Amino acid sequence: MALPESSYERLRAADCGDEIAYVKACLRLYFAGPTASAGEVSTPSLSAAAVADIARLNKVATFVLKALSRLPAGDRPAELFQWLGTYRRQTVSMNAACLMDSMAIHQALRDRQIDFVFLKGPFQQHLLYDDHFMKPSGDVDILVSPAGFSKARDALRSIGYEVAGKSRSVWWVRFLGEQHMIRGNGPKSSTVDLHYRLQQPGSPSPRDADGFLRRKRLVEITGTEVPFTSVADTLMLSCISVAKALFNREPCAGYVCDIRASANRLDEADQRRVLDAAVSQGLDDTLLLGLRAADVLLGGTGTLLSERAKPILSRIGNEDLLNMVIAPWLSSLRWPQRRTVLWELCGRAPVRYLAEAGWAASADISRRIFERPASP
């Protein structure tokens, strides 16, 4: 869901152009590899607090930490580097708990023979970065089929999870296709996001969400094999997350990093297969938008995917797209209308656009009815 406006107050009030450029340079250094030159990562008069806010909101603080760790100690902003180290330790603690919760959930669903797959989280981070602790994961995300949704919910209840009050509404269950389930209270609580859909109304949805279950792979964690999304689907889901974030006007550089890390693992034949799969799902333009965002933020790769991504949403300039990804709070941003983006992501196909726009309008009406704040 959209981040509260208070998250942006300090950044909106300041001219943080240098800090945005600094985070971008750190991310490019991280992806360039350990032998890359750090020439772009200069240390002008930066606000450590603003850099920290940008990195935190985009969930890229550990990327920045690892990039700065390659620099001589004297070239690292001391206050920022200290904050990043603390953030990293907190991420390790959070994700370790998430991994333990995931294993308990895996056991409960497997015992009831429920077909499911884990999404995102520490498993994905290890597969992409050989590190379970790159980004904080407070929730466990799992996908089941629509037919298995209630069975999975019952299985989670059997180990102490209960549906969070707000996610009982028609808008959550019918239109978002998910529910939050929580076990415990306070800092030790555990949350599961149980999905049977993979995109919110307002952006194109996959034509065959069950295909993500059929194509799953098994990954090993603590000697146990758990189901996770395929290489191609991991990339596709990161692109879906970027489209969702842009719709909600949220920072999403962390998802863009996942796109680049996923795409880097594909040879040209794999890239062609990913494109074909995205076309069959009706998500080829969603895929290309995510890839273009990665090229704008992290630099172009000259690959087949990068070349195909160049024309997508070309009316949005590179500088604007960069800021939509990493700094959507900027008052200078010229945001396109949401229906314009939806038209583009539907491939300018009128029938599909009308179907998706109608679904989004119905969802909005439902949200206004069922998500209204309670009367005082």
pLDDT classification of 371: cutoffs 50, 70, 90: low
pLDDT classification of 6: cutoffs 50, 70, 90: low
Mean pLDDT of the chain: 90
Which residues are 139's β-sheet partners?
191
Least confidently predicted of 8-17, 191-200, 285-294, 328-337: 8-17
The pLDDT of residue 2 is above 60: no
Give pLDDT, residue 376: 41
Least confidently predicted of 42-46, 186-190, 369-373: 369-373
Give pLDDT, residue 44: 62
C-alpha dihedral sign at 49, 96, 172, 352: positive
pLDDT classification of 1: cutoffs 50, 70, 90: very low
- pTM of the entire predicted model: 0.93
Percent residues over pLDDT 90 in the chain: 71
Give pLDDT, residue 375: 43
The pLDDT of residue 11 is above 70: yes
The pLDDT of residue 5 is above 60: no
pLDDT tens-digit profile of 230-269?
999 999 999 999 999 999 999 999 999 999 999 999 999 9
pLDDT tens-digit profile of 48-75?
999 999 999 999 999 999 999 998 888 8
pLDDT tens-digit profile of 122-174?
999 999 999 999 999 989 999 999 999 999 999 999 999 999 988 888 888 88
Give pLDDT, residue 22: 93
Tokens of residue 274, six digits? 């990913």
Q: What is the mean pLDDT of residues 185-190?
A: 82
Q: What is the mean pLDDT of residues 215-233?
A: 92
Residue count (the chain): 376
The pLDDT of residue 36 is above 80: no
The pLDDT of residue 182 is above 90: yes
